[in-house]
Amino acid sequence: MSTILHIILGSILGVTFIILTVVVFCKRAAKKMLHPKAKRKPLCAWPDQFGLKYENVSFRTADGITLKGWWIPAEDSVKTIILMHGWGMNRSAILPHTCFLRDLGYNLFYFDFRALGESGGDMSSIGYLELKDVRAAITFLKEKYPTQCQKIGLYGISLGGMVALGETARNPQIACVVAEAPYYSFRRVVSRWAWIHYHLPYFPLLPVMLHYVRRELKANPERYSPKYTISKIAPRPLFIIHGRYDNLVPAAHARRLYREAGEPKSLWLVPDAKHDKCGEVGGFSYKQKLADFFRTYL
């Protein structure tokens, strides 16, 4: 009897230890994702390196976070493109392959999302909180540069692509949107991220990790996923760009978003491109397609 009791108690203690280990690991993984200190990289490029005059600007979000950015004006233009980077990036990462749009007659506005680049804050939510950032950016632009921002288009990559889609769906002031490598579902992209970085299988660990993400954010970020907003963009024009060999956000996400979007819409799967590499791999074709889209719809 004593031996059986010891076996039962040992089994209970073993299971309890495993459960506690899983909980602690998932809680730490959630915090690492939401507080990406290692992802805050310094700027590596500036507009004047490309012969562009610019203004350093800062503005505050509704929840009190100070964001930093660049305003790059075009002569006598009433059209502005807001350009948004991905998670773990900053505004300088997307500058080289997009700043040519200024020479086509568009004012350009780049800013760093919270907890990244030079902006304040220490929490990054891969979409939910960053929607507040773009709304603050639009309010700032409308107040400071009302004449130059009579027409606004959005461009976003990865996290920025998700934010661009969400804001366009909500805000009728947005004339058109380009989204590169946007995810379809927050749950799916976090699952992919956890597998790539930790080899963490979805079940039973991911539900625990997602629980702590929701708890930390005090919201369910899945509800703000593009899968719920993409159909609300039409009749504003939409252009989805995605790397055919994207390792973080598989091209299937882009295909599904495209199917669920209304017209007018277009999809370009860039051959040989991985995540965040469409501009680099696409080269001249990438710039030409961006230019054609904004010329047509902005």
pLDDT digits (tens, 9 = 90+) for 198-207: 666 766 777 8
Does some domain include residue 14? no
% of the chain exceeding 70 in pLDDT: 88
Does some domain include residue 201? no
Checking if the pLDDT of 224 tops 60, the result is yes
Among 112-116, 207-211, 214-218, 268-272, the minimum mean pLDDT is found in 207-211
pLDDT given at position 281: 95
Does some domain include residue 206? no
43 within 8 A of 94, measured Cβ to Cβ = no
Phi and psi of 99, rounded to 5°? -65, -15
Phi and psi of 164, rounded to 5°? -60, -45
Separation CA 11–CA 275 (nearest Å): 44
Q: What is the pLDDT of residues 241-294, one digit of tens each?
A: 999 999 889 999 999 999 999 999 999 999 999 999 999 999 999 999 999 999
Does some domain include residue 207? no
Checking if the pLDDT of 4 tops 90, the result is no
Checking if the pLDDT of 193 tops 80, the result is no
Does some domain include residue 118? yes
* Summary mean pLDDT of the chain: 89
pLDDT band at 37 (very low <50, low <70, confident <90, very high): confident
271 within 8 A of 297, measured Cβ to Cβ = no
Among 96-110, 114-128, 135-149, the minimum mean pLDDT is found in 114-128
Does some domain include residue 139? yes
pLDDT given at position 247: 87
Separation CA 3–CA 180 (nearest Å): 62
pLDDT given at position 107: 98
pLDDT given at position 9: 56
Separation CA 60–CA 139 (nearest Å): 10
Q: Identify the residue with better confidence: 139 or 198.
A: 139
Does some domain include residue 152? yes
Quote the number of domains for the chain: 1
pLDDT given at position 25: 65
CATH of the domain at 92: 3.40.50.1820
Q: pTM for this one? A: 0.90
Q: What is the pLDDT of residues 74-110, one digit of tens each?
A: 999 999 999 999 988 999 999 999 999 999 999 999 9
- Its domain, for residue 91, covers 35-185+225-297
Does some domain include residue 64? yes
Give me 158's structure tokens. Answer: 């990865």
